[in-house]
């Protein structure tokens, strides 16, 4: 079975970021997407700590200690970018002004529920950050995650077993095996990577998939 590595997964998703989009990339694999958006497309990245127009990593020695992204890495501001406070930043998110949020995921359900902030480990302190706001706020939510857990358990399920981040929020799932779209009838496979067959993907999925149209 063909399994994309994270950079390839990010690269595949990046093809679906249109020119002129306002995009928020979640912590982890999602931030890699910025590296692969095709040339010629102008995309403006939002960071929930109050930046619109996040630019690349600064040259060593030129870091501004206050200028970090949501993952707390040093970044720069592109020409035409601007700053605002967190309340304004989340107004931007919650108010439906961002075109796309790319989020990581622990689990996605057949009806587009997302679980990506807490597991069922009660001892480990929970942390939510901006995930819930992004999931309900962005016009389109893409989830970028492996198709299964390291142990091979399916992450696309009839219903999430982990605590939910948002309900009915996911539009598409980009995994290492395929691209799936959440439709009213359930998840539909819209692209199979390499020589993966629909049956291969269905076999490692915890809910019934619809075949490519």
Partner 1 sequence: MIDKRVASLREAIAGIKSGAAVMIGGFGSSGIPFELIEALRLHGADDLTVISNNAGSHEIGIATLLRDRLVRKVVCTYPRSQGSVWFEKLYEEGAIELELMPQGTFAERMRAAGAGLGGFFTPTGYGTKLAEGKETREIDGVGYVLEPPLKADVALIKAHKGDKWGNLAYNTAGRNFNPVMAMAADMTIAEVEHIVELGELDPESVATPGIFVDRVVAQEGIV
Catalytic residue annotation: 48
| Shortest distance (Å) from residue 85 CB to partner 1 | 4
Q: Is 109 in the site for partner 1 (CB under 8 A)?
A: no
Count of residues touching partner 1 (by CB under 8 A)? 58
| Shortest distance (Å) from residue 191 CB to partner 1 | 27
Query: How are beta strands 44-47 and 114-115 bridged, if at all?
Result: unpaired
Question: Token pair of 190, please?
Answer: 């819209």
Contacts 24+ apart (CB under 8 A), 43-48: 43/17, 43/19, 44/78, 44/80, 44/81, 46/22, 46/89, 46/92, 46/93, 46/98, 47/75, 47/89, 48/24, 48/86, 48/89, 48/90, 48/93, 48/129, 48/130, 48/133, 48/134
Distance CA 170, CA 177 (A): 18
Q: Is 181 in the site for partner 1 (CB under 8 A)?
A: no
Q: DSSP 3-state assignment of 167?
A: coil
Binds partner 1 (CB under 8 A): choice among 136, 178, 179, 209: 136
Mark the segment that binds partner 1 (CB under 8 A) among 6-14, 73-81, 187-195, 197-205.
73-81
Spatial contact of 166 and 187, defined as CB atoms under 8 Å apart: no
Choose between 28 and 192: whose C-beta lies nearer to partner 1.
28
| Shortest distance (Å) from residue 165 CB to partner 1 | 7
Q: Is 190 in the site for partner 1 (CB under 8 A)?
A: no
Binds partner 1 (CB under 8 A): choice among 59, 60, 61, 72: 72
Q: DSSP 3-state assignment of 35?
A: helix
Q: Is 52 in the site for partner 1 (CB under 8 A)?
A: yes
Q: Note the residues at the interface with partner 1 (CB under 8 A).
A: 19-20, 22, 42, 44, 46-53, 64-68, 72, 77, 79-87, 89-98, 118, 123-133, 136-137, 163-167
């Amino acid at each position: 079975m063909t399994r994309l590595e994270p950079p390839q997964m990010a690269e595949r998703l990046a093809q679906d970021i249109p020119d002129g989009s306002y995009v928020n990339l979640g912590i982890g694999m999602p931030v890699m997407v910025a590296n692969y958006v095709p040339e010629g497309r102008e995309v403006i990245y939002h960071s929930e700590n109050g930046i619109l127009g996040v630019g690349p990593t600064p040259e060593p020695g030129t870091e501004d200690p206050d200028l970090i992204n949501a993952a707390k890495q040093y970044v720069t501001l592109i020409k035409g970018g601007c700053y605002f406070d967190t309340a304004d930043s989340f107004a931007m998110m919650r108010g439906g002004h961002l075109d796309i949020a790319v989020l990581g995921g622990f689990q996605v359900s057949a009806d587009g529920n997302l679980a990506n902030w807490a597991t069922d480990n009660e001892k480990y302190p929970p942390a939510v950050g901006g995930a819930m706001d992004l999931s309900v706020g962005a016009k389109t939510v893409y989830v970028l995650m492996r198709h299964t857990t390291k142990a091979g358990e399916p992450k696309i399920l009839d219903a999430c077993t982990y605590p939910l981040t948002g309900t009915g929020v996911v539009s598409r799932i980009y995994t290492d095996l395929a691209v799936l779209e959440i439709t009213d009838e359930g998840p539909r496979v819209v692209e199979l990577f390499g020589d993966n067959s629909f049956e291969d993907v269905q076999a490692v999925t915890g809910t019934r998939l619809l075949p490519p149209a």
